[in-house]
Every structure is written in C-alpha cells, then in structure tokens.
Amino acid sequence: QVQLVESGGGLVQAGGSLRLSCAASVRTFEGYAMAWFRQAPGKEREFVAATNWSWTVSNIYYLDSVKGRFTMSRDNAKNTMYLQMNSLKPEDTAVYYCAAQPGSNTYWRSDAYNYWGQGTQVTVSS
C-alpha cells in the first residue's frame, strides 16, 4: 500500500509560481511510475507530467501546454516528488493530484494508476 500526500497548492496571480509536493510512503521511487494529473471543474482528469522508474530527463513527459513551464522532480532522501509550476495561467486552475503505480513503464492514462493523493487546489487569477 502506497500513501501519497500532496501540499503546496494555493492562490496565485497569472505569471506567478507554485511548487507542489507529494510525500510518498515508499522507501524509494525505484520501481514506481509516478505522475501528476489535474482536474478542473466539469472536466476530465488530465495528465500533466509522468515518468517511469528511471527518472531520467528523457523519460519525463509533459502535457504540451505545460512544457517549458512545469518541471517534475524528486528528492529521494525525503521520499518526495515535486511539480514546479512557473508562468502560471488561469487555465492551469485545477485540483492537482499525484499518482503512483508499481512497474517499469510510463503511464499517461489516469486509470493506469492505483495510488492517488487527496489533491491540492491551485487557483490562478487573471
């Protein structure tokens, strides 16, 4: 059983930055695919960023609309994953979730993940 706890959401003006954290109850991220998703009111849950167990730069994938603005990273010593969000736009407003799934692949579909955090609200004002 993997427990994930997000934090770091909030209200920010357009152009601002936030860093989301996802603390995981795992000894290591090795062996897990990890991802960030978001869900805006009235919309489907949407892939934002994902990686497989390797966490190499070439194996971290981003939604096209966040490329160059969002960065997914981890701190193994803290068992924590991050989503640094810069140049935020009102359309980035959503509840953001982190997700984990044992395995060696990268998964873009939300139904591929069995473990989810509770979500953290990000609101970007114009």
Spatial distance between the Cα atoms of 25 and 9, rounded to a whole number of angstroms: 20
Residue 73: the pLDDT is 93
For residue 90, count CB atoms less than 10 angstroms from its CB and return exposed for 0-12, middle for 13-18, buried for 19 or more.
Answer: exposed
Percent of the chain exceeding pLDDT 90 equals 78
Residue pLDDT, tens place only, 56-107:
777 899 999 999 999 999 998 899 999 999 999 999 999 999 999 998 888 8
